[in-house]
Amino acid sequence: MAFKMRWLGTACFEIVLPSKETLVIDPYVDDSVSSPITAEQFEGCEYIFITHGHYDHVLDVGKLATRFNPKIFCSDVAAASLTRVQGVNSDLITTVKPGDVVRKEGLTVEVLRGMHVDFASEYRRLTGRNLERGVEPMSVVKEGLRVMLGTDHVPDRFEEWMGKYPAGEQLNYVFEPAGGRRLYMAGSYPAPSVIEEAKKARTYITLLQVLPGRTVGGMEEQIANLAIASGCKIVIPQHHDPLFRGSVETDLSELKRILAARSDIIFQELVPGRWYTFDESEAA
């Protein structure tokens, strides 16, 4: 058996399982800088899994929910935003937390703990300076992103979206189709506790979050360690594409060098929008 997958920019993946059902992770295409398709161009969607509630991971959930009535899995904070802001039918949503296991016909999903990047900490790491005390929270986010991404541009509705879509708990997922290989959605900051958590994944493919823009510099070893801890054979980077117009290009060279030193891991970059087939005939 085999499954098909394409990366649509940011953390959005469309996966056609061996059962022919479609699973979508973090739907965000219509307002994305990188996605080559729109929400109208999805041909199916039986499942949606959300890593956290920020707008660049959920903005198109409501559109897919209206068209396909998928089963949606996310944190309670993300669920509240989807029902309140996008009018998603709560009957479609199942809230999950780390340690939960979702079992559907032909698919098992384990929920693992993740961690979101802290904007103030990254500002300090990249500049050697602390943000001034008493700064309004949204200003902290914007200044952190400016330094991380190298651009002053933010979407016109950025503050509105950030207010409507709080992050909530960060979740990672291990997907295991019946009789197939395991796939780990590692959409997380590579903190030591998360690297330890990744050992539970025991996966074949890891969809590895790479900190975008300038942020990856100096973090390559930790990011690689997250992939290595997961036990994967294939690493697919994600979330390293431009988040905003004018963002500094993410330099993957050092991360690739570290992982290339391991003969047991393949680093495979996906072109946004292009379908790739992964053979599952030899289950892990």
pLDDT tens-digit readout, 160-219: 999 999 999 999 999 999 988 999 999 999 999 999 999 999 999 999 999 899 999 999
Model confidence over 122-174: pLDDT tens digits? Answer: 999 999 999 876 678 898 899 999 999 999 999 999 999 999 999 999 999 99
Tokens representing residue 146 in the block: 């400016």
Largest interatomic CA distance in the chain: 57
- The helix/strand/coil state of 257 is helix
Q: How many CB atoms lie within 10 A of CB 139?
A: 11
Which two structure tokens, joined as six digits, stand for 183? 């796939």
Q: Can you give the residue range of the structural domain that contains 146?
A: 119-161
pTM of the full structure: 0.96
Q: How many domains is the chain built from? A: 2
Residues 213 and 273 in one domain: yes
pLDDT single digits (tens) 4-61? 999 999 999 999 999 999 999 999 999 999 999 999 999 999 999 999 999 999 999 9
Q: Please check whether residues 238 and 173 belong to one and the same domain.
A: yes
Same domain, 151 and 199: no
Distances from the Cα of 89 to the Cα of 18, 55, 82, angstroms: 28, 18, 9
Q: How far is CA 251 from CA 18, 45, 119, 255, in A?
A: 34, 33, 20, 8
Is residue 38 in a domain? yes
CATH number for the domain that contains residue 208: 3.60.15.10
